[in-house]
Amino acid sequence: MEMESQLSDYEKRMLLAIEDVEIIGLRPSAVKHSVKLSTLHDRCAGGQDIRTAHQKDQSLTVEQEDDLVNYIIERERAFQPLTKKDIHDFAQALSSVNGQVCYIGKNWVDRFFTRHSSIELKPSRVIESARKRCVTKESLSDKEKGDQVLARYKNTTKAEIAVCVIPDFTAHGAFDDCLQSSTSLDVVMHVASPFYYSATDIKRELLDPSIVGTTSLLTAVCDHAPSVKTVILTSSFAAILNSYKPNTIPQHTYTESDWNPLTMDDAFQNTLNGYRASKLFAERAAWDLMDTRKPAFSLTTICPTLAFGPVIQPLSCLDEINISSQRIYNFISGAYKSQIPDTGVSFFLWIDVRDLAVAHVKAMEAQLTARGNRRYLLTEGYFTNQDICKIIGRWFPEYQDALPSCEGEAGGYPKEGVYGFNNSRATEELGLRYRTLEESVVDTVRSFKDVQRELTRLVRN
């Protein structure tokens, strides 16, 4: 009785609330006794999940939790990490196997990780880092991606390289603050815009980021970056290729003078048209702005074909690699085991991503010495899926069981032939020398193996 008399009024109410949690639930108890909900939650939870009259079977059994732990680890080893929501939903399903409708609270996952410290690092370093196009559909934050890129350049300072996060390219004045805070800029490079076949809103996911993002950046350079001498814009062969023609046009040779005749209405027919239109109209918009604003800086647009080559971007699973590299990964993963697919609708040209990067630098250097608006078509030459299959088979015998048969006509060139190309402008003016397809494919596969080893290390540590 003496101890009870020494308790404060708030503590007495808290003790009464704790008793009532089992009867009426957490929130009603907090309201009834006028105590803070979060404090009551912490006092009740301890090492167990809160059970109330309305949530009697909230916790999983020991066997169910073991199943969940094993499932999480299996998914991580397969480079398909789960988000907290995935884990929560899976726990909900496990708790309902006996036919009862149970409720797993939103804080259950955090307490689950506390109980299972062996997987404690995985949610923070792998699961929560899963990016779009992984199984989880979660996005790694732009700031984290920037920090991971900076980590590759350990000998640089913030004065030499920094990250400016643009949350939404399509927002009005999206680039203004970034350019206003950056003094003495000489060059601006605007590189590849997003493309993924899973896009469901073509305007929001493909067209606007590319078109509005491009015009927004160029407008900001005009208005807020008077020191800029040149802008390098990554366009695409998609802005050159004639999408109305059949798969191939053997009698035609593509050059920088060609433009894809797609209309905006065509863009909404499918995601491939949406991507092609996004690159086409973004580049058109850039040249239109140059005509209307007549800025002091020059503009160079670079139109690369499909880009292969080793991956270096931060990855938390191999499912999130870019569309071009996915083609090579599908061979070693067994996705093409039954038969080599057709090479594509109309893309039979390629370039190594490292040569593409060099082209950007050389274009920048050329413009800083002798400015003038330019457009470049970049490609090493032709390729087919059959070529890729044969290269992997020669260099990586460990993937023989995953590869389809490389013989026959499957995955080869169409019988009617393919269109021509002329990449002499880039070769002569920029002095480009291209890697071979064999070198590019081999280096790409090796980079996949490096990523797998690193992800395995993260999962095991």
Q: Of the ranges 140-149, 222-231, 410-419, which one carries the lowest mean pLDDT score?
A: 140-149
SS3 breakdown of the chain: % helix, strand, coil, rounded to 5?
50, 5, 45
**135 vs 389 pLDDT, higher one:** 389
| pLDDT single digits (tens) 119-135 | 543 333 333 332 222 32
The encoded tokens of residue 306 equal 């499909």
The secondary structure of 360-412 as a DSSP string is HHHHHHHHHHS---EEEEE--EE--HHHHHHHHHHH-GGGTTTS----SSTTS
| Region 140-460: CATH code | 3.40.50.720
Percent of the chain with pLDDT over 90: 39
Whether 157 has a pLDDT exceeding 60, the answer reads: yes
Q: Of the ranges 20-34, 89-103, 220-234, 425-439, which one carries the lowest mean pLDDT score?
A: 89-103
| Secondary structure element (H or E) that encloses residue 233, with its range | strand 230-234
In this prediction, residue 268 carries a pLDDT of 94
In this prediction, residue 353 carries a pLDDT of 93
Whether 104 has a pLDDT exceeding 60, the answer reads: no
Give this prediction's pTM: 0.68
Range list for CATH 3.40.50.720 in the chain: 140-460
C-alpha span between 121 and 461 (Å, rounded): 8
C-alpha span between 169 and 199 (Å, rounded): 17
Q: Which amino acid is at 155?
A: N
User: What does the mean pLDDT of the chain come to?
Assistant: 78
Would you say 387 and 343 are in contact if contact means Cβ atoms under 8 Å apart?
no
| Secondary structure element (H or E) that encloses residue 421, with its range | strand 420-421
Task: Find where tokens 């299959």 sit.
Answer: 389
**20 vs 204 pLDDT, higher one:** 204
The encoded tokens of residue 11 equal 């503590």
Let me know if 238 is exposed, middle or buried by CB neighbors in 10 A (0-12, 13-18, 19+): buried
| pLDDT single digits (tens) 312-367 | 766 666 666 777 888 999 999 898 999 998 887 678 999 999 999 999 999 999 98
Let me know if 308 is exposed, middle or buried by CB neighbors in 10 A (0-12, 13-18, 19+): buried
In this prediction, residue 69 carries a pLDDT of 78
